[in-house]
Structure 1
Amino acid sequence: MLKIEEIREIIKLIDQSSIEEFVYKHEGSKVELKKRSSIQPVQAQPIHPASAVVAQPSTPAPATEVTAQPNSEQENSSQVQSDQYHKIVSPMVGTFYRASSPDTPAYVEVGSTVNEDSVVCIVEAMKLFNEIEAEVEGEIVEILVKDGQLVEYGQPLFLVKQK
């Protein structure tokens, strides 16, 4: 499957071109991008629903209602430990999921060892399920958000004790 950086680059290229529709299939996965107008979002759908989290449709809310704020306990904990641990942050606004579907185990737990390529969670945005990688080698010491919680761009998701 394409990495988030590759999908972003494809979206930029399609946006700058006269291409109206793009379909990419690889090893049972499918990414379909359609350009309808300059305002509507580009969407992708997985072929295998078992490998994706099923999100309930919702109406868009104003940006002021979408912001996700950590509770004060999480905020204090993060401030104390922010200097000594690496933060894995959300690359986009979306919904945080710890597993690929409700009936599968979480990608990581506190104490899990990760490397640069380890998938730690999914952030769903506009029905596109983006696998988030650790990008560092180490051990998960804290999970900062709850499953199904809305997250903001740059919001810390995990703290990792680097090796």
Structure 2
Amino acid sequence: MLSIDEIKTLMKEMDSSSISELKYESEETKITLRKTSALTEKTVIQPTPVQVAAQPAAAPEVAAKTDSNAAPEQEPSLHKITAPMVGTFFSSPKPDVEAYVRKGSKVDKKTVVCIVEAMKLFNEIEAECKGTIVDILAEDGQLVEYGQPLFLVKED
């Protein structure tokens, strides 16, 4: 059996080496030591804002033009239906069944728009607003994150 001092010595040796995991087993003792890097646990990389150079005098006119192909999510009147949990997005209750909604479908607050499966539980997601589906932002079988926009709805 290892003594506390021997375990401490192992920990110090492991800390000064490149070994990340050590398992020790005997008839009476079983020990696993794991080393994690402080960098991997605490480092968060955030994007740096980009400085935009001053535009020539003609630039405001170019910026004032509206792009007819602009994404619908830029419209302020659209409601986003978001994922309430991490899981897998399904547009229909079964693979061989038609999707709950499509672009142009009318929905009300209680209309089921999709399923998010998490840990073998199939959670029906409701529209939570009355309107028309403008865009479907997730693909069938796609892993979605909490808060990720799934649908855009133009409210009535």
User: Is the counterpart of residue 77 in structure 1 residue 68 in structure 2?
Assistant: no
1:138 to 131, 138, 149: 131
Aligned 1:46-61 pairs, distance under 5 A? none
List runs of 5+ in structure 2 lacking aligned partners.
Answer: 1-69
- Structure 2 Cα separation of the partners of residues 141 and 125 of structure 1: 26
User: TM-score, normalization: structure 1?
Assistant: 0.51
**Counterpart residue type for residue 147 of structure 1:** D
Which sections of structure 1, spanning at least 5 residues, go unmatched? 1-75
| Partner amino acid, structure 2, of 1:157 | L
**Structure 2 CA distance for aligned equivalents of residues 110 and 138 of structure 1:** 11
- The residue correspondences of 1:1-163 to structure 2 (distance < 5 A) are 77=71, 79-81=73-75, 83-163=76-156
How far is the alpha carbon of 1:77 from its aligned partner? 2.9
Q: Which has the larger radius of gyration?
A: 2
Amino acid at match of 2:80: K
Counting aligned pairs with the same residue, the percent is: 62
- CA deviations 1:53-82 (Å, max 9, x no partner) are xxxxxxxxxxxxxxxxxxxxxxx836523x
Moved over 4 A (4+): none
- Report the equivalent of 1:66: none
Displacement of 1:84 in angstroms is: 2.3
Query: Matched residue pairs, number?
Result: 87
1:23-75: CA deviation from partner (whole Å, max 9, x where unpaired) = xxxxxxxxxxxxxxxxxxxxxxxxxxxxxxxxxxxxxxxxxxxxxxxxxxxxx
Distance 1:145 1:77 in 2: 15
Distance of 1:155 and 1:85 partners within structure 2: 15
Cα distance in structure 1, aligned partners of 2:80 and 2:148: 9
SS at 1:103's partner residue? coil
Matched residues in 1 for 2:73 and 2:89: separation?
21
TM-score w.r.t. length of structure 2: 0.54
- Tell me which amino acid in the other structure corresponds to 2:82: V
Aligned-pair RMSD on alpha carbons? Answer: 1.3
